[in-house]
Amino acid sequence: MVNNMSARTLLDSRRTFKFKNIEGLFYVAPWIIGFLWLQLFPFLMSLYYSMTDFALVREPNWVGFQNYIRLFTRDPDFWHSLRVTSIYAFIVVPGVMILSLIVAMILNMKLRAINLFRTAYYLPSILGGSIAVATLWRVMFMRAGVINQLIEPLGLGPVDWLGNPDIALFTVSMLSIWQFGSPMVIFLAALKQVPSSLYEAARVDGASKLRIFFNITLPMLTPIILFNFVMQFIIAMQEFTSAFIITSGGPARATWVLGIKLYEDAFRFFRMGYAAALSWIMFIIIAVITMLVFRSSSAWVFYEDGGDF
């Protein structure tokens, strides 16, 4: 009798376990289907198309690594766009990191109406990446725009922000730096996690504010610095909207980033296979540099438990 009850209980528990598994799969099925159909499938198909001469108007023909060979050996536009994108990332990533950290430290202070200021500084990130904001930025920096009107009384004269190849990329970069809200919020959350006892001990020892920042605050923020750096680098390397809307890659291709080249190859010249190869080169560059950053993190990222990432 006891054995029969035990066997029945075990059978019921197995049925319950299977039912819960099926129920769980039912709940995650939309995400699984979306991931397989909208992410993994296009990801793998782009790899296939990168080895074909697919041009939308005809069936793809297998060409192997010819698209990659052409990119590296017979396409000077690729190297130019890679150089422009690298300069853009070199301007934007440190700019966003430094500005977001400074503002986060200010907003971490106990000030009146501090929540209002936090919201105001985060708003640009909500609007970030939109065509409307990029268009407004273009209007502001035109020769007759509001920026030149503001600096004219200072005797600086009208500046050709968008027509001068030497400063056009910097003008586009400023829009991305202005949208520093997301890393700022992450820095602010990390600042609140720094133990106050460390600051109190440093003040008792007579440490200056500058020494406290470099010896306590900055080391405690290194994991967040690593995260924000990687995220901002990935975003910068995929830049398209701002450069396309504000300058269309000009003047003299001074803002011709990889995203614009990919767009031109795919939707202007209909070289989908070639554009797919370029997208995979972008993916490999981002993956390699990200891996190198993570590998180097053991030398400069501090964790409270002493472990590595």
In a domain, 287, yes or no: yes
In a domain, 43, yes or no: no
pLDDT bracket for residue 152 (50, 70, 90): confident
Range among 50-64, 122-136, 224-238, 291-305 with highest mean pLDDT value: 224-238
Conformation bin of residue 164: beta by default, left when phi > 0, alpha when psi is -120 to 50: beta
Span 83-109, average pLDDT? 94
d(CA 275, CA 263): 8
Q: Tell me what pLDDT residue 307 has.
A: 53
**Under 8 Å between Cβ of 243 and 33:** no
In a domain, 163, yes or no: yes
In a domain, 272, yes or no: yes
Span 39-55, average pLDDT? 92
pLDDT bracket for residue 309 (50, 70, 90): very low
Q: Tell me what pLDDT residue 228 has.
A: 95
Q: Tell me what pLDDT residue 20 has.
A: 64
Span 79-102, average pLDDT? 96
In a domain, 99, yes or no: yes
Summarised one tens digit per residue, pLDDT across range 170-180 is: 999 999 999 89
Of residues 217 and 20, more confidently modeled: 217
Per the structure, the count of domains in the chain is 1
d(CA 191, CA 60): 53
When the pLDDT of each residue in the chain is averaged and rounded to a whole number, the result is 87
| Helix, strand or coil, per DSSP, at residue 62 | strand
d(CA 222, CA 235): 20
Q: Tell me what pLDDT residue 105 has.
A: 92
Q: Tell me what pLDDT residue 11 has.
A: 53
**Residue 253 sits in a domain of what CATH number?**
1.10.3720.10
Single-letter residue type at 114: I
Q: Which residue has the tokens 């708003």?
A: 123
Asked if omega into 251 is within 30° of 0 (cis), the reply is yes
Summarised one tens digit per residue, pLDDT across range 218-276 is: 999 999 999 999 999 999 999 999 999 999 998 999 999 999 999 999 999 999 999 99
Summarised one tens digit per residue, pLDDT across range 187-206 is: 999 999 988 888 899 988 88
What does the buried/exposed string (b/e) look like for 28-63 if buried means 16 or more CB atoms within 10 Å of the residue's CB?
A: eeeeeeeeeeeeeeeeeebeebbbbbbbeeeebeeb
* Cα separation values, 268 from 101, 253, 277, Å: 40, 16, 16
In a domain, 19, yes or no: no
Question: Which secondary structure element, helix H or strand E, spans residue 161, and what is its range?
Answer: none
Q: Long-range contacts made by residues 260-266, C-beta under 8 angstroms, separation at least 24?
A: 260/81, 261/77, 261/78, 261/81
Summarised one tens digit per residue, pLDDT across range 1-33 is: 445 545 555 555 555 556 567 777 778 888 889
What is the extent of the structural domain holding 274? 75-300
Of residues 185 and 125, more confidently modeled: 185
Q: Which residue has the tokens 């939309």?
A: 30
Q: What percent of the chain has pLDDT over 70?
A: 91
In a domain, 62, yes or no: no
DSSP count for the chain of H helices, then E strands = 15, 0
In a domain, 47, yes or no: no
| Helix, strand or coil, per DSSP, at residue 237 | helix
Of residues 135 and 123, more confidently modeled: 135
The pTM of the full predicted model, rounded to 2 decimals, is 0.87
Tokens representing 33 are 């289907």
Q: Please say if the pLDDT value at position 54 is more than 80.
A: yes
Conformation bin of residue 158: beta by default, left when phi > 0, alpha when psi is -120 to 50: beta
